[in-house]
Amino acid sequence: MECEFPSINANKQEIKEIFQSVKTIAVLGLSPDETKDSHRVAKYLQAAGYKIVPVYPKEETILGEKVYVSLADIPFAVDMVNIFRKPDALDAIADTCIARGDVKVFWAQKGIVNNAAAQKATDAGMRVVQNLCSMVEHRSL
């Protein structure tokens, strides 16, 4: 697999606005394993006051929240998707976000870049962040 540099990415001011405006964050790939980055980041964001919605195929609850098998299964509005998946999964995730119609922010965590998916999300009106950790960015504010 070839690494990409993000050609589409929010700037620091946009990231600040994202954290001020979002309330509900679906975390795709949220592991129940407390040593995994996805778990630590989600726990931090939950403690910071955000509603965390775990998306993971094998658990019933993580961080005290009901787990959904897929983003499409969540029956209420989601402001942001925080993605801990491989870059090649982002195209389908962008399509699901677009189909939902309620996702405002498409955030691919540190080390995750897919410019084609980012372009799709941008074209659909979403703000896009790639290759940045949401916990690190939130703390820096």
- Answer whether CATH 3.40.50.720 is correct for domain 12-140: yes
Mean per-residue pLDDT for 6-18? 93
3-class SS of residue 123: helix
| pLDDT computed for residue 3 by the predictor | 67
The model's confidence at residue 8, banded by pLDDT at 50, 70 and 90, is confident
Q: Determine the Cα angle at 97 with ends 95 and 100, to 5°.
A: 110
| pLDDT computed for residue 1 by the predictor | 43
| pLDDT computed for residue 4 by the predictor | 79
Residue 24 pLDDT > 50: yes
Residue 139 pLDDT > 70: yes
pLDDT tens for 97-108 read: 999 999 999 999
| pLDDT computed for residue 122 by the predictor | 97
**What does pTM read for this prediction?**
0.95
Residues in the chain: 141
Contact between residue 79 and residue 23 where contact means Cβ atoms under 8 Å apart: yes
Dihedral sign of CA atoms 57, 60, 63, 65 in order: positive
| pLDDT computed for residue 57 by the predictor | 92
pLDDT tens for 78-92 read: 999 999 999 999 999
Sequence spans of domains, the chain: 12-140
Question: Please, which residues bridge with residue 82 across strands?
Answer: 27, 107
